[in-house]
Amino acid sequence: MELVALLSSGKGTWGQVSGLIKYGEWDNIILIGDEFAKKFSLDQDHEFIVINPRAGIKELKQELMKKLKDKIKGTEVALSIASGTGKEHMALISALLSLPVGVRFVALTREGVVEL
């Protein structure tokens, strides 16, 4: 399964995404964030999609749909929205469902990677 993870500009939430990547088994990793979030270091192959978080929610959704359209190979993705704002979450979930792609929310817990 492919992992799609939102990275906001606050480094405090990057640990959750880092743990998901480290402890999960992913066919493909797609990270989404602004220019600052590109500083997230990762030893694994991944794709990074730069977004403009200051855009309106409708524009952000359209931007995400356009940029994700050819990157997702399967019919569903594992999604992490532990990082990011409500507007970014809504735009990303709406974009994924509009592609259409099924969404399985994932998080790193003490028990490991879990599907919520």
Is the pLDDT at 12 greater than 80, yes or no?
no
Q: Which domain holds residue 86?
A: 2-115
pLDDT classification of 11: cutoffs 50, 70, 90: low
Tens digit of each residue's pLDDT (9 = 90 or more) over 38-88: 877 677 788 999 999 999 999 999 999 999 999 999 999 999 998 888 999
Structure tokens at 84: 């990011």
**Stated pTM of the model:** 0.92
CA R_g for the chain = 13
68 phi and psi, to 5 degrees?
-90, -25
Number of domains in the chain: 1
| 13 has pLDDT over 90 | no
Q: What value does the mean pLDDT of the chain take?
A: 91
CATH number for the domain that contains residue 62: 3.40.50.2000
User: Worst-scoring range by mean pLDDT, 44-48, 89-93, 96-100?
Assistant: 44-48
Q: Are 30 and 46 in contact (CB under 8 A)?
A: yes
Dihedral pair phi/psi, residue 26, rounded to 5°? -120, 140
